[in-house]
Every structure is written in C-alpha cells, then in structure tokens.
Amino acid sequence: MYIIPAIDILNKKVVRLREGDYQQVTEYDVSLEEMIERYQSNGTQFIHVIDLNGAKNDFSNQEYLFNIVRKTDMKVQYGGGVRSIDKVKELIDAGIHRVIVGTQAITNPDFLKDLSKQFASKDGHSDQIVVAIDVLDEVIKYSGWMESSPIKLMDYVDKCLNLGFFRFLCTDINKDGKLGGAGVDLYEKLLDHSPFIKLIASGGVSSMKDIEQLNKIKVESCVVGKAIYEGRITIEEIKNWNLESLISI
C-alpha cells in the first residue's frame, strides 16, 4: 500500500477543510511549491491535489496549478470541478497523471459512458480515471456533500466496473478531517463486494497505526493530509513506508 500525500488548494493557499465545510477552513503557512518540493526531495512519487475553488466551478487556481505541475516530475492525482469530457482531456494534456471524477459521474447518466469510450484502453479499462465515492453512512453524497444519491453504493461500484473504471477514491465523510481514524469498516465492505478494485482510502488517517490497519485490509493506497500538517505523521515516516511498499511489490 502506498501513502499519497494530499494537498488541498483554496485561493492558491494550502488548506484543509473539516468534513468538506468551506466555513471550517484551516490555512497552513506553506505554499504548494514548497510542499511538492518537500515530498519530492524525500522520495515521494505521487501527490493528491484538490482544487477546492474548482469544486465550486471557479477555475481561478487552474493556471497556477498547471504551471506548478508542468515543472515537477511528480505524478499528480487531481480533482476539483471535473464536469466534462473536455475538462478531463485538458487536465491530462496539462500533465495530470490521474483525474478524479465525482459529482458529474453520479448526476449525468451519460458521463461515465462517454468517458469510457474516450479513455478505456484496448483491454477495456482506464488507468487515468479515478472515480470518487464520498460516503456518509453508506449513502453516496455529491455536490460538496450537500446532496444524496438514490443509487446504492455497491450498485454504483458495479456500474463503474462494467464501464471499465476500476480505481476508486472513497472518502468516509464521518471520518474526514477529524483525525479520528480511517473508515476501515466501510473499506472492508467495498473490498468484500469487489475484491479486485483498486481502492484509495481517504479521510480520518491520524497515525501510522491507521496506515497499518489499512494495509492489512489491502487497500491500494491511502490519501493523507491533515495528519501531516498537524505533525502526527512525518514525511520521513511516509518516505520509509513507501520505500518498503515499493520493495515488496
């Protein structure tokens, strides 16, 4: 299992939200460039960047983000306001390694079908698309967690798999931003249902003990943000863990 450091950007500043609430913002005195350099110099190959402005359909951060992405060798997993096939293409053309799709995939019945036609490879699968599933008590939430989807969680996973999407970023909303531990029970249910999905865990990771728990249930990777900024997990610990993970592959 690989640890992917998360960097959330709001108005070109590094921040974290609590439970996705824009009214509960913690700003950090460090720039995106500094964070990327810090991770890269410690051997991290992958980062998770969320454009919180983009999530509200405000793309004022985008050129700033693209300029930084073009300068780094890091692989970037990007999300925030991806609501069209053209936007997915634009991001990949800009050098984004993986694009996260969320709300549009739930609300537009044709979006995932069209995306599959564009990005599924010859074997019928896409490695560049990550499907975000934000879950509150096993209910899928979207539009900044304000709306609830009527589709059942496992049915949605099956739909995505049938269209060739196998990598999922699952956020347990009950855990997000609270540093109270990861949603292990939720992830176990998902993996029991579909053992072969590539699951990226997100939300609640507060210590290396949480990382070890996630590793035991065999999630592919986990996103860690606030625990790093709050000093509960060090970049050195991430470096050592990821090196061992690569050696064991």
Catalytic residue among 134, 172, 176, 210: 134
Instruction: Assign 123 a pLDDT band (cuts: 50, 70, 90).
Output: low
Q: What is the CA radius of gyration of the chain?
A: 17
Weakest mean pLDDT among 10-14, 15-19, 35-39, 160-164: 15-19
Q: Is 8 among the residues known to form the active site? A: yes
User: H-helix or E-strand containing 8?
Assistant: strand 2-10
pTM for the full predicted model: 0.91
Q: What is the CATH number of the domain that holds 144?
A: 3.20.20.70
User: H-helix or E-strand containing 100?
Assistant: strand 98-101
pLDDT, tens digit, 9 for 90 and up, residues 3-17: 999 999 999 999 987
Q: What's the token pair of residue 215?
A: 């590793």
Catalytic residue among 8, 51, 172, 176: 8
What is the average pLDDT value for the chain, to the nearest integer?
89
Please give the residue range of the domain that contains residue 214: 2-248
Q: Is 176 among the residues known to form the active site? A: no
Alpha carbon separation from 160 to 60, 141, 142 (Å, rounded): 31, 16, 16
| 246 CB-contact burial (10 Å; exposed 0-12 / middle 13-18 / buried 19+) | exposed
Query: For a pLDDT cut of 90, what percent of the chain falls above it?
Result: 61
Instruction: Assign 249 a pLDDT band (cuts: 50, 70, 90).
Output: very low
Phi, psi of 4 (to 5 degrees): -110, 110
Closest among 76, 177, 77, 98 to 134, alpha carbons compared: 177
Give how many domains the chain has, as a whole number. Answer: 1
Query: Quick check: 155 pLDDT over 60?
Result: yes
**DSSP code, position 217:** T
Query: For a pLDDT cut of 70, what percent of the chain falls above it?
Result: 95
